[in-house]
Chain A
Amino acid sequence: MKKFSVLLGVVAAVMLLSYPAVISGLARDSGPASVSEITVSAAISLKDALDDIGKKYEGSHAGVKVVSNYGGSGTLRNQIEQGAPVDVFFSASQKDMDALNAKGLIEPKTRRDIVANTLVLIVPSDRDSGIHDFADLAGAQVKTIAVGDAATVPAGMYAEQVFSALGLTAAVHGKLVLAKDVRQALTFVATGNADAGVVYSTDARSTSKVRVVATAPANSHDPIVYPAAVLKSAHNAAAGGTLVEYFAADDAKAVFQKYGFAIPPR
């Protein structure tokens, strides 16, 4: 028993001693970033392209660091509404940007449409599932369809619109595996665990493990145009504005196109 109390004392002492170090460590991680850091909350479908563009931007703008936070646009929007320290929001839907605008959280003058995308139906590439079009999703052989959760994932919202436009909403109910973002929906199909999935064409080309079988008719969903804007709460608004302008400039455009994004007409 005595041994135990000694041990307990040692543990308590270690914890107490390490407390200031832990706290300062945490503070360093979450405290205000240095002036040269730009935090971008971006739709996860932009990840590959933005990682490239961020590096390019850092190369041509000395002393600037682009910190990207990827996720479902609705999730990112919620984080911003809750006060997340973000400089630039780059959304996969107009809806989430509009919502922030309605709450006065973005600088409307900095808002720009950067890229456009298309929605596709994918299946695992290692098997012939007999799925050739959206209508086939109603068949009994299709048990699971990976889509983003429409409430937080624009790709899921667009998918829901497509199902509705094609009269498939009731037929796919109970088959939809709701993913937290579009890349998770992609993974569900790429691992073969979902029979089919609805993602952006840019996501589909990022892996050889999925095959595109159909493209959603453009008139079956809202236009998929990604807006970017600087937030009112940005600690580094000027640098954020420069970055958003850079997204729309030729250098970045070339990278976006390399990853399959379209450039919307201005």
Chain B
Amino acid sequence: MDFISQDLSPLWISLATSVAATTITMIAGMGAAAWRQRRTGPLSPIIDAIFLLPLVLPPTLVGFGLLVLFGRNGPLGKFLLGFGATVVFSWPATVIAAAVVSFPLMYLTSRAALDQVDPHFLQAARTLGATEWRIFRRVALPLAWPGVLAGTILSFARAMGEFGATLMLAGNIPGRTETIPIAIYFAVEAGDMRAAVRWSAIELGISFVLLAALYYWTHAASGGRARWARSRP
């Protein structure tokens, strides 16, 4: 028992999960934001609402939905089982849960950042014959970068803190799916206050550093574009 509770595996699992989930949300969230920005129609509010739902739904509902979807008898679960892959109670399940709940934050922030880009720049690029992808990559994205970075950090922090949906989809497998929030929950359940405090301190420290970095960077970015530009690699 000791080697299970003493090791740092929840930290590494949480970090690996958050990195993977943030990579997914970054691409999906930015892609969705760019897509929604271009195409607006009568259905826009509905699609936006769907994208934001994971932000407000109870984690239990998200977890239940994912379980139904990815469970052994669920549509996606069955499909993946055809390739010999089971999602429930596996490490990828922690990534899926974290990606779903952090997606709205990435979408919201990068949408707002892209909306603030002066359309004249994009028009100018278009008159010069640049493709839409090139305009996005070379004009829109660099201008929206502070917002996108903020969204990325927020998503990462949210992924680090994901608990409910993760527990339901990935379960608690020490050394495989036991993230820091899950370690805290089970430590409290077991009355193991020392472990609960230790993991809480680690989670608190990481989240604080992330948010402080977020404000530091966004402040630097808005406080003077020159300063930001100079420090950019």
Contact = CB atoms under 8 A, between A and B. Distances in A.
A30 to B, nearest CB: 21
Interface in B1-47: 1, 4
A174 B189 contact: no
A75 B189 contact: yes
Interface in A148-196: 149-152, 160, 173-180, 188, 191-194
B1 A177 contact: no
Count class of interface residues, chain A: 20 to 34
Contacts, number: 67
Contact of A149 (B86, B89, B175, B189): B189
A78 interface: yes
Nearest to A124: B72
A160 B5 CA distance: 14
A180 B189 contact: yes
A192 B73 contact: yes
A177 B175 CA distance: 10
Nearest to A194: B89
Which of B67, B72, B73, B90 is the most central at the interface, judged by chain A CB atoms within 10 Å of its CB? B72
Contacts of A81: 191
A70 B97 CA distance: 28
B189 A144 contact: no
A199 to B, nearest CB: 15
Interface in B155-186: 171-176, 186
A178 B191 contact: no
A143 interface: yes
A178 B192 contact: no
B100 interface: no
A144 B89 contact: yes
17 contacts: A81-B191, A143-B90, A144-B171, A149-B172, A151-B186, A151-B192, A152-B186, A173-B4, A176-B174, A177-B172, A188-B89, A188-B171, A191-B72, A192-B72, A193-B67, A193-B72, A193-B86
List of 7 A-B pairs having minimum Cβ-Cβ separation, nearest first: A151-B190, A192-B72, A177-B171, A193-B88, A178-B172, A144-B89, A78-B191
